[in-house]
Amino acid sequence: MTTRTVRLPLPVDLRPTMAPLRVGASDPTVRLTADEMLRASHTPEGPVTLHVRVTGDVAAIEAWGVGADWALQHAPDLVGATDDLTGFDAGLHPVVARCARRAPGVRMIRSGLVTDVLVQTILGQKVTGLEAKRSWAWMVRRLGRPAPGPGDMLVPPTAERLAAAAYWELHEAGVERTRAVTIIEACRRIDRLQEAATMGPAESRARLTAVGGIGDWTAAIIARVAFGDADAVETGDYHLPNTIGWNLAGEERADDHRMLELLAPFAPHRGRTLRLIEVAGQPAPRHAPRMPPSQVM
């Protein structure tokens, strides 16, 4: 075990800050409470299990495994200690100001690795959240490995393992051929996708979406979580336009164009604004049935 202490210049509310890294409460790779996180993942140097405990303005971090040094080196980015609020003005809208007061510790993170969010985000394409969570848990338990350190955690399957998979291997996880092929092809190009972390937003998006099956929705989530892009907004989402329309304009229904129009004043922090509303805003009224589980297998 190796350790590091990270000073937090801004308050960090660990649960909502780290929530984008967890795929539901049953995620075998992440355990998350109000002030602690245990997470198993891969680094360029190998697997690691990371324990984070936030107390006041300090994050105490412990790491196990051959990826420990890499994980500790990048820990400030992961826990939101390097989050930069320059140019963000919550006071541009009273609802955003209220959300910022209610959730002052929601930070933008930067994991630094496409693999941290690539597969689980593709699994979430055009299916319910419940289906995506079940598929992720199955894949980790079936294709992942025991993680180093405490907690009987599991590390996800590596990009190399998924790149070598046949699409029918993922069928048992409830993943139809389209998403399975997208996962496999993306993992085969993981080095090219990882290069997007060093690019500007437009170049990064172009690199990510060059892979068939990765569109703006998937690319925006990767940019926000892996690259720390506080301006990334996922268009094509089933619920987000209505949530933004309701909170910022009192409109029960909105489309992507209207969502981007309402978020425009908050650039270059549109993604941060969206995240604050998700955590501390109000859900839009529901008058239509929920998205049904996919019947395509």
Domains in the chain: boundaries = 2-85, 114-226
Instruction: Count other Cβ atoms within 10 Å, centred on residue 282.
Output: 11
Question: Tens of pLDDT along 160-173?
Answer: 999 999 999 999 88
Residue appearing with tokens 């989530």: 221
Pick the residue with more confidence: 167 or 248?
Answer: 248
Tens digits of residue pLDDT in 188-206: 999 999 999 999 999 999 9
pLDDT of residue 271: 98
Mean pLDDT on 229-257: 96
CA 33 to chain centre: 17
Pick from 77, 76, 75, 120: nearest CA to 222: 120
Give 170-177 contacts, CB < 8 A, sequence gap 24+: 170/135, 170/139, 171/297, 172/138, 172/142, 173/134, 173/135, 173/138, 173/139, 173/142, 174/131, 174/134, 174/135, 174/138, 174/297, 175/123, 175/135, 176/294, 176/296, 176/297
* For residue 288, pLDDT beyond 80: no
Span 85-142, pLDDT tens digits:
999 999 999 999 999 999 999 999 999 999 989 999 999 998 899 999 999 999 999 9
Helices 94-102 and 240-249, packing angle to 10 deg: 110
Q: What is the pLDDT of residue 279?
A: 97
Instruction: Give CATH superfamily name and number for 114-226.
Output: Hypothetical protein; domain 2 (1.10.340.30)
Distance CA 158, CA 145 (A): 9
What's the predicted TM-score (pTM) here? Answer: 0.92
DSSP state of 114: G
Identify the CATH assignment for 2-85 out of 3.40.50.300, 3.90.550.10, 3.30.110.40, 3.30.310.20.
3.30.310.20
List, for residues 56-78, the tens digit of each pLDDT value: 999 999 999 999 999 999 999 99
Residue 101, exposed/middle/buried by CB under 10 A (0-12, 13-18, 19+)?
A: exposed
How many Å apart are CA 211 and CA 214, to the nearest integer? 6
